Amino acid sequence: MKTYPVLRIIEHSPTVKSFYFERMTDALPGQFVNVWLPGLDEKPFSVSALGDDWLEISVKAYGPFSSAMMELKPGDRVGIRGPFGHGFSLQNDALLVGGGIGIAPLHLLAQALSAQGLRFVSLLGATNKSELIFATDFERRSERCFFTTDDGSMGKKGLVTDDVLQIISDHRIRFVYAAGPEIMFVKLKELLDPLGIDYEFTLERYMKCGIGICGQCVLDGSGARVCVEGPVFNRQALKEVTDLGLPHRDASGRRK
Ligand SMILES: Cc1cc2nc3c(=O)[nH]c(=O)nc-3n(C[C@H](O)[C@H](O)[C@H](O)COP(=O)(O)OP(=O)(O)OC[C@H]3O[C@@H](n4cnc5c(N)ncnc54)[C@H](O)[C@@H]3O)c2cc1C
Ligand code: FES
């Protein structure tokens, strides 16, 4: 494990920040790195953007680890290893559906799609305007960009899934990517399966080793390891998963 200093921090809101490091690795959209805070823990985070000489991750404060990340200052060192897992495939005529901090992996995907000249529309939702991270960049890169917020502070008030079918039909969408809360995936599957539209969702599970050894992140039904076969899964692979949207296993392996 090598450690790297935080080069720069962007505060999107008091509980959501992006951290820049030197570009110690390449990463495909959807891949993640494991971040180690000495004395605390190690947790996976999607790469949210890459520049010529920098790598960015974006973090939302939930519990002990992510809250400790919020306390980092430029110059503080953290361990980073990776990238791990399988990323998104790059498809044309796509819709990117991001909920909350799920917008982070879609940001690197939007970078990659636009670099390839592929056409896509974005639909991003969050609790409020300040958590709609990278909004301007998505607007710039997407053919169209739609926003929803729980409180109506930006875009339409409501859920990100409310207008999915309308957008698919208005914008000739043939592929859907999604990242965000798992309840959003359950709803999207209900909407997309009858249409026969292919999709890729990026899943999260509690991880320990991050390299396929411990079995902690295995999905019920398919037995796939999120850290190796995922975190991005396609429609075919998701068909076999039986714990989508259900409470996940904690560090002890028990469901909450
Ligand atoms: C492949 C992968 C990629 C990830 N990428 C990112 C990323 O880009 N940015 C990021 O902020 N986090 C990301 N995570 C989640 C991250 O690894 C941590 O799990 C998260 O920061 C919470 O850790 P914690 O110790 O602070 O809180 P915990 O003690 O683990 O969690 C506190 C509470 O918050 C809930 N919680 C944790 N994460 C979420 C969530 N995402 N949505 C809703 N509730 C949640 C837990 O169920 C628990 O109830 C990713 C996870 C995986 C597996
Ligand atoms: S975290 Fe150990 S197998 Fe995935």
Task: Specify whether the CB–CB gap between 94 and 144 falls below 8 A.
Answer: no
Separation of alpha carbons 91 and 95, rounded Å: 10
CA proximity to 28, closest of 231, 198, 211: 231
According to CATH, where is 2.40.30.10 located in the chain?
2-84
Judge if the beta carbon of residue 206 lies within 6 A of ligand 2: no
According to CATH, where is 3.40.50.80 located in the chain?
94-202
Helix (H, G, I), strand (E, B) or coil at 44: strand
Quick one: pLDDT at residue 255? 75
Q: Which CATH architecture has domain 94-202?
A: 3-Layer(aba) Sandwich (3.40)
Quick one: pLDDT at residue 234? 98
Model pTM score = 0.96
Angle at 239 between CA 223 and CA 45, to 5 degrees: 60
The CATH number corresponding to 2-84 among 3.30.1330.30, 2.40.30.10, 2.120.10.10, 3.40.50.2300 equals 2.40.30.10
Separation of alpha carbons 107 and 105, rounded Å: 5
Separation of alpha carbons 144 and 37, rounded Å: 38
Quick one: pLDDT at residue 231? 98
Judge if the beta carbon of residue 225 lies within 6 A of ligand 2: yes
Distance from Cα 218 to the centre of ligand 2, integer Å: 7
> Residue 151 carries which DSSP code?
S
Distance from Cα 196 to the centre of ligand 1, integer Å: 31
Distance from Cα 241 to the centre of ligand 2, integer Å: 17
Q: Which ligand is nearest to the CA of 218?
A: 2
Quick one: pLDDT at residue 250? 82
Quick one: pLDDT at residue 8? 98
Quick one: pLDDT at residue 194? 96
Closest atom of ligand 1 relative to the 207 alpha carbon:
53
Distance from Cα 84 to the centre of ligand 2, integer Å: 11
Quick one: pLDDT at residue 14? 85
Q: Which ligand is nearest to the CA of 229?
A: 2
Per-residue pLDDT of the chain (256 residues; tens, 9 = 90+): 899 999 999 999 889 999 999 999 999 999 999 999 999 999 999 999 999 999 999 999 999 999 999 999 999 999 999 999 999 999 999 999 999 999 999 999 999 999 999 999 999 999 999 999 999 999 999 999 999 999 999 999 999 999 999 999 999 999 999 999 999 999 999 999 999 999 999 999 999 999 999 999 999 999 999 999 999 999 999 999 999 999 888 888 777 7
Judge if the beta carbon of residue 215 lies within 6 A of ligand 2: yes
Q: Tokens standing for 246?
A: 């259900």
Out of 62, 218, 248, give the residue to mutate to test ligand 1, the one with the largest number of ligand atoms within 8 Å of its CB: 62
Separation of alpha carbons 33 and 25, rounded Å: 9
The beta-strand segments (E) located in 23-168 are 32-37, 41-50, 54-60, 77-84, 94-99, 120-126, 145-149, 156-157
